[in-house]
Structure 1
Amino acid sequence: MLTSNGYVLDERRLGELTAVPDHERTDLPVLRERLQRDGYLLLRGLLDPQVVLEFRRYYFERTGAATDRASYRRVLFEQIVPGLEYATFCALLKGWFEWFLGGEPFLHRRKIIRQIAPGENGIGTATQAHYDLVYLRGGSDQVLSAWIPLGDCPVSRGGLTYLERSHHRVLADEETLKLPAASITADLPALAEQYDANWLVTDYAAGDVVIHTAHTIHAALDNVSDVMRLSTDIRYQRADDPIDARWQNHWHDQDWL
């Protein structure tokens, strides 16, 4: 049984998040067409798993010494988020984005790390259904997000789920209705019925990366495992496209974006 924010997902509205086949991964036109069609690219093993696991170890070594919430926040927002280790890790994708975008890539400074403990559920614990453009309207709508599980993330650990081909409807709606900077809903089952679409899920492994468009609706599942779920989401775009200035400061959970 899969849940998100406590809502039980309907098994009839579940599908499989499909990885890019090996023979397509170096075919740029095919890869771009796939992103336009599906709204996401699941790239297995794009990063070295050992590098990912090393960053996970670094994170928990730093935060493990925090004895309370205030100490944890100081370590996260004053050491890890602005630190060299995190910047170096996020820059690992620069070459891929330069190739895919066909120009100089730009990494938004606001990069987010999400830690979800086992058993956390109820409204507000898992990322609710949304698409990224509502938070990035000050720049290009061609910004691409990379969601990176920092360690193995089977479905039970609460990884990201995508609403199948939702970006097509969002793109059409955006022509007349521009939603405000807020989540759509925590009720994933109801949204699947509204869109007549499946929520796509998969087991992620360390090294996997999912690239998705700014119009693709996604959310997170609840962590029903016994292991901490850690992930990061970062955003790249072409440097010569309009850039949202609000995203050029380091992430803080009080930045109101």
Structure 2
Amino acid sequence: MLTSNGYVLEETPSRLGGLEPVPMDERGDREALWTRLRRDGYLYLTGHLAPEDVLEFRRYYFEALAEAGLIAEGSDPVDGIAAPHDVDRASYRRILFDEIVPGAQYEALCRSPRIAEWFAWLLGDDVHLHRRKIIRHTKPGEQGIGTATQAHYDLVYLREGSDRVLSMWIPLGDIPLERGGLAYLEGSHRRVMAQEAAGELRHPAASITADLPGLADEYDTRWLVADYAAGDVMVHSAHIVHAGLDNVDTESRMRLSTDIRYQRMSEPIDWRWQNHWHLDDGL
């Protein structure tokens, strides 16, 4: 049973489906990728990154936060086994926002050739990586509205720059369905683009809803999901609606992921996204 913020997704063929990976014979064809991105709103690139590089960063993250009591005592940090007690919040925030987020390891991952050079190739231009990069973990069993990322599209938070920003969501370790990966609302980018063009969505930056099954009914479409593996990435437009699933892993493994954003250097850049991410940054 798939849930998001406690809402149970309807698992009928008209409301739930699978994400379509980009075939290997299209990976080097830029026009084919753009055709797919315009049609689907996303590119699901399996095995795009070296799994060992992803897992090395996963180990670094959980090792760094072990001091705050995040992982189970005596466990291998790369497994991300959640400790059965609450973390030291002050220590957690200090390590995350003073060490990990602005740190060299995180920056190296986000600017690795398979990311930065790939975006430059896809966009056909010099590219800019937004400094505000978000990294999240979720523990199994966390419940309540706001535990999982609610349904939203990225442009609602990025209206001070180009609307042609591309996001890359990177699973930092395997994220099978039960560990709570991203779900995408099929075809939603077309409706959002039309509403944005008509000026119908000029409300303050906010998520749409936590009620994923209700939103699928409203759009009369499916949520698309996948069992993500270390090395996979999702590239998506700023208009497609997406959300997180709940982590219900029975072995207490935490989901860890990051989302980063690239755009052409020549296009307007949202100045608010040029500082390191912090919970108090107002975005």
TM bucket (normalised to shorter chain) is over 0.9
Query: After superposition, what is the alpha-carbon deviation per residue over 1:194-253, rounded to whole angstroms, capped at 9, x for unaligned?
Result: 000100000000000000000000000000002100000000000000000000000001
Query: Matches of 2:142 and 2:185 in 1, distance apart?
Result: 22
Read off the aligned partner of 1:6 and give its amino acid letter: G
Q: 2:68 aligns with which of 66, 69, 72?
A: 66
Moved over 4 A (4+): none
1:144 has 2:166 as partner: yes
In structure 1, which of residues 92, 99, 106 is the aligned counterpart of residue 128 of structure 2?
106
- Match in the other structure for 2:229: 205
In the TM superposition, what is the alpha-carbon distance from 1:180 to its structure 2 partner?
A: 2.4
Tell me, yes or no, if structure 1 residue 248 matches structure 2 residue 274: yes
Q: Is this contact kept in 2: 1:130–1:183, CA < 8 A?
A: yes
CA–CA distance in structure 1, aligned partners of residues 247 and 107 of structure 2: 27
Deviations 1:27-61 (A, max 9, x none): 11010010000000000011100000000000011
Which residue type is aligned with residue 54 of structure 1?
Answer: E
Distance 1:62 1:221 in 2: 26
Unaligned runs of 5+ in 2: 70-87
1:231 to 246, 257, 282: 257
- 1:95 is the counterpart of 2:117: yes
Find the counterpart in structure 1 of residue 9 from structure 2: 9
Say which of 17, 41, 44 aligns to 1:42. 44
The alpha carbon displacement at 1:65 in A equals 1.0
1:51 & 1:18 partners in 2: Cα distance? 24
Q: Distance in 2 between matches of 1:122 and 1:23?
A: 42
Query: Counterpart of 1:185?
Result: 209
Structure-to-structure mapping, 1:115-134, within 5 angstroms: 115-134=137-156
Matching residue within 27, 30, 35 for 1:28 = 30
The amino acid of 1:224's aligned partner reads V
| CA shift for structure 1 position 132 | 0.2
Aligned-residue CA RMSD in angstroms? 0.6
Q: Counterpart of 1:177 in structure 2: which amino acid?
A: E
Structure with bigger gyration radius = 2
Q: Retained in 2: the 8 A contact 1:4–1:121?
A: no
Question: Is residue 2:103 matched to residue 1:83?
Answer: yes
Q: Percent identity?
A: 67
SS for the counterpart of 2:67 is: coil
Match 2:59 to one of 57, 66, 70: 57
TM-score, normalised to structure 2, is: 0.90
- Which residues of structure 1 form unaligned runs of 5+? none
Distance 1:251 1:198 in 2: 31
